[in-house]
Amino acid sequence: MVGGAWWSYRPGDLLMFSPRVYARLFELHNQALWPAPLLALVLGAVVLVFLLRPGPRRTRLVVALLAVAWAFVAWAFLWQRYAPIHWGIAYLVRLFGLQALLLAALGSLRGGLRLPGHWNVRRGLGIGLFAYALALHPLAALATGRGLAGAEVIGLTPDPLAIATLGVAAMAEPAPRAWALMVVPALWCLLSALTLFLLDAPGAWLPLLAIAAALAARLWPAPKAPR
């Protein structure tokens, strides 16, 4: 009986927690940090305005805020809340720290990262990804049955932060630095999609769609410089 019991397992049994436990992560996180979710949304809206009307100083501020967010999420969410129920998350904390350092380096260098001021396909997809992460991704909690108490807020939880960073990197220049910024967010989105799939949760395709949109933006032919 023991030898034949393997076929009774479901994909979600590979995880060490249930969908309810996973949902409670976000509920407890928001409760512990309140009213930080409201502040995070306000700061996210400010960043969106900066993306719509970029400039050198605003770009450096955007990159600096993203660096702080990656460091904060690594410690407050991944290490404090997620790692105790998932042993593999402890290794990802270092990747989030590296992403924060990379962003901090680019934010402190003159000409470290540039954001376009004219509309094109890259900019449209990039701003669309950021706007989704800010305004729509928190509402996905309603579709999963968590309610807004379990909403995933940009700057406080990994998924919207990764999607927002993909949006910024999708339209940023120079290209080599932008590609480097996409690696860790894309890896996290892949892991998140797998986790949601194993939990049989709705929306597992959303992180994959974010990766696809960011890749499409980066691979889209660069607009020709005006003569």
Mean pLDDT score across all residues of the chain: 88
Q: At what angle do helices 121-131 and 205-219 cross, to 10 degrees?
A: 160
Phi and psi, residue 87, nearest 5°: -60, -30
pTM here is: 0.90
Count CB-CB contacts under 10 A for residue 70.
27
Task: For the chain, give every domain's residue range.
Answer: 58-219
8-65 tens-digit pLDDT: 445 444 456 677 888 888 999 999 999 999 999 999 999 999 999 998 899 999 999 9
82-113 tens-digit pLDDT: 998 888 888 899 999 999 999 999 877 777 89
Count, residues in the chain: 227
**Which letter does DSSP use for residue 221 in this model?**
P
Asked if 208 and 189 touch (Cβ cutoff 8 Å), the reply is yes
